[in-house]
């Protein structure tokens, strides 16, 4: 017997990468930052803990103000959420009356939220090389959402192509999920004043070391943001808790630290690409904080399991187009050196 409403009985929930013991595993499976947040974050959170008897500020002022300034937008053009996942959920709940379209190989939550909100969704295959061609979305009605750079492929779509699509379809909402934009590429944020049908989603989880704090945002024209706030205030106005607000505020004051870690990650990513190529791996030109690789001699699942045996966790997506690939988060230099040593051993065993 079940008490669950019939319309939810066939829901397929999101499958997160596992959260393993870091003493035991090198964790390269969920695209978190391998670095702790700046020391000032801990101080700020400890201080905020003194005030946990009080509800959080629904305007999230201590984050919204400096973030709006950093992004060059007005505060009424910004909404903060409990992770960008929550903001994405509002988008799927609220802006999909004419349906929504997204790529076949992309962030798994788009499909999950389509199911949750029972949205009419169209899944559009990426090209053979995993690139995105927005012309494939021209004939569809409704909203379009994609990640740029995309995940798990890491491929970046040049801004000009997005602008052309937005201009061809002024009556359709275009949502660009920029979870990885800090690791390469040009953000669409400066264009929100120009395009009323553009919504840009961002997160503190990947480049800002706060995955566990849950802090994300969307930027768009004030009417779009007001509509998102209607949904937010109808569910949980206190969606960003006191500790997370303090953490987010401190992170924004430690931009130099954030920038330095981003730079390190980019350098390690490019170094790792070279080394993986020398080991015979094929890969996309990832612009995120992760790599998307396959080896001609080893199935993705085999490689995933072999790495797991050696206490290295990566992500394997068991789907037709991605099952030969692994998505490997860019860790610290030491972690990536360990990964490469391990891969070398695994590959030597295959060849012999
Ligand atoms: C990680 C990720 C998110 C979710 O980020 P949170 O802010 O942690 O919820 C959203 N979109 C993409 C493409 C991601 O990779």
**Contact at 8 Å (CB) between 81 and 240?**
yes
Between strands 100-103 and 121-124, the pairing is parallel
Q: What is the pLDDT of residue 15?
A: 84
- Interval 213-238: pLDDT, tens: 999 999 999 999 999 999 999 999 99
DSSP-H helix ranges across the chain: 39-49, 61-71, 83-94, 109-116, 159-168, 222-235, 242-253, 255-278, 300-309, 333-351
The minimum-distance atom of ligand 1 relative to the CA of 216 is 7
Interatomic CA distance for residues 146 and 168, integer angstroms: 17
> Which carries the bigger pLDDT value, residue 24 or residue 331?
331
Q: What is the pLDDT of residue 352?
A: 60
Interatomic CA distance for residues 117 and 149, integer angstroms: 25
Residue 287 Cα to ligand 1 middle (Å) = 15
Q: Full-prediction pTM beyond 0.95?
A: yes
Residue 84 Cα to ligand 1 middle (Å) = 6
Residue 85 Cα to ligand 1 middle (Å) = 6
| Distance linking the first and last C-alpha atoms of the chain | 54
**Contact at 8 Å (CB) between 134 and 161?**
yes
Read off the tokens for 137: 């979305």
Percent of the chain with pLDDT over 70: 99
Residue 333's pLDDT band (cuts 50, 70, 90) = very high
Quick one: how far is CA 133 from the chain centroid? 20
Interatomic CA distance for residues 325 and 343, integer angstroms: 14
Task: Please determine, for residue 4, whether its predicted confidence score (pLDDT) is greater than 80.
Answer: yes
Residues making up the chain, counted from first to last: 352
Task: Please determine, for residue 190, whether its predicted confidence score (pLDDT) is greater than 70.
Answer: yes
């Amino acid at each position: 017997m079940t008490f669950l409403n019939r319309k939810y009985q066939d829901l397929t929930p999101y499958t997160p990468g596992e959260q393993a013991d870091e003493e035991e595993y090198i964790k390269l499976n969920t695209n978190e930052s391998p670095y702790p947040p700046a020391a000032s974050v801990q101080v700020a959170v400890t201080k905020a803990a003194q005030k946990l008897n009080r509800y959080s500020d629904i305007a999230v002022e201590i984050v919204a103000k400096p973030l709006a300034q950093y992004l060059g937008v007005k505060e009424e053009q910004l909404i903060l959420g409990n992770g960008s996942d929550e903001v994405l959920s509002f988008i799927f709940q609220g802006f999909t009356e004419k349906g929504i379209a997204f790529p076949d190989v992309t962030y798994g939550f788009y499909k999950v939220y389509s199911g949750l909100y029972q949205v009419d969704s169209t899944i559009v295959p990426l090209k053979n090389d995993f690139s995105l061609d927005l012309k494939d979305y021209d004939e569809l009605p409704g909203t379009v959402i994609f990640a740029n750079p995309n995940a798990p492929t890491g491929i970046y779509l040049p801004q000009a192509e997005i602008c052309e699509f937005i201009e061809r379809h002024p009556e359709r909402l275009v949502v660009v999920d920029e979870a990885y934009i800090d690791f390469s590429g040009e953000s669409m944020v400066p264009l929100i004043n120009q395009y009323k049908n553009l919504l840009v989603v961002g997160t503190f989880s990947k480049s800002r070391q706060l995955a566990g704090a849950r802090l994300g945002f969307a930027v768009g024209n004030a009417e779009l943001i007001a509509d998102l706030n209607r949904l937010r205030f109808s569910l949980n106005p206190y969606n960003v808790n006191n500790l997370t607000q303090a953490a987010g505020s401190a992170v924004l004051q430690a931009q130099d630290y954030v920038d330095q870690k981003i730079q390190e990650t980019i350098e390690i990513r490019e170094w790792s690409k070279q080394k993986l190529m020398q080991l015979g791996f094929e890969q996309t030109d990832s612009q995120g904080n992760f790599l998307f690789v396959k080896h001609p001699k080893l199935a993705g699942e085999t490689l995933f399991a072999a790495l797991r045996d050696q206490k290295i966790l990566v992500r394997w997506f068991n789907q037709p187009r991605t099952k030969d690939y692994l998505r490997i988060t860019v860790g610290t230099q030491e972690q990536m050196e360990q990964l490469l040593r391990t891969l070398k051993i695994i590959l030597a065993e295959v060849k012999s």
